[in-house]
């Protein structure tokens, strides 16, 4: 499922919380699968290594995490701006269509 479909799926107000939770667990599994494909390391082993080696306190590990967080935040900002622009374009298209139909009546 691409990012746009995921965003639309999560925006539905009537989606039950258990469906969203199930969806998020599936996304986590897919992320772990991608981690294995990219690195050959199981996701659970990666999480265990972080805990065992206390990497949350490691300066280099924190720097990498902060770098990825910054990239993710920038991506989210871009996606939000694109989503707002698309919504505005749809709204303007709907208003223009309403104007045309009102003029023809």
Whether residue 1 sits in one domain with residue 49? yes
Please indicate, yes or no, whether residues 25 and 43 belong to a single structural domain of this protein: yes
Which residues, given as ranges, of the chain have pLDDT below 50? none
Task: Give the model's pLDDT for residue 100.
Answer: 66
pLDDT at 14: 65
Residue 45: Cβ-neighbour burial (10 angstroms; 0-12, 13-18, 19+): middle
Give the separation between CA 11 and CA 4, rounded to whole angstroms: 11
| Under 8 Å between Cβ of 100 and 93 | no
**Residue 6: its pLDDT value, please?**
67
* pLDDT for residue 25: 84
Q: Please report, in angstroms and rounded to a whole number, the separation of the first and last CA atoms in the chain.
A: 43
Say if residue 10 is in the same domain as residue 30. yes
* Full residue range of the structural domain in which residue 66 is found: 56-105
Quote the pTM value.
0.47
State how far the Cα of 19 lies from the Cα of 93, in Å rounded to an integer.
32
Domain closes at, from 53, 77, 92? 53
Q: What pLDDT score does 67 carry? A: 93
The total domain count for the chain is: 2
User: 39 and 62: one domain?
Assistant: no
- Whether residue 1 is found in the same domain as residue 49: yes
Shared domain for 65 and 46, answered yes or no, is no
């Amino acid at each position: 499922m691409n990012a746009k479909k995921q965003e639309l799926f999560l925006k539905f107000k009537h989606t039950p919380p258990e469906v969203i939770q199930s969806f998020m667990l599936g996304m986590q599994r897919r992320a772990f699968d991608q981690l294995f494909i990219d690195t050959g390391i199981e996701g659970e082993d990666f999480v265990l290594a972080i805990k065992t080696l206390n990497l949350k306190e490691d300066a280099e590990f924190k720097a990498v995490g902060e770098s990825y967080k910054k990239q993710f935040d920038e991506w989210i900002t871009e996606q939000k701006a694109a989503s707002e622009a698309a919504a505005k374009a749809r709204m303007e298209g709907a208003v223009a269509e309403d104007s045309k139909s009102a003029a023809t009546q």
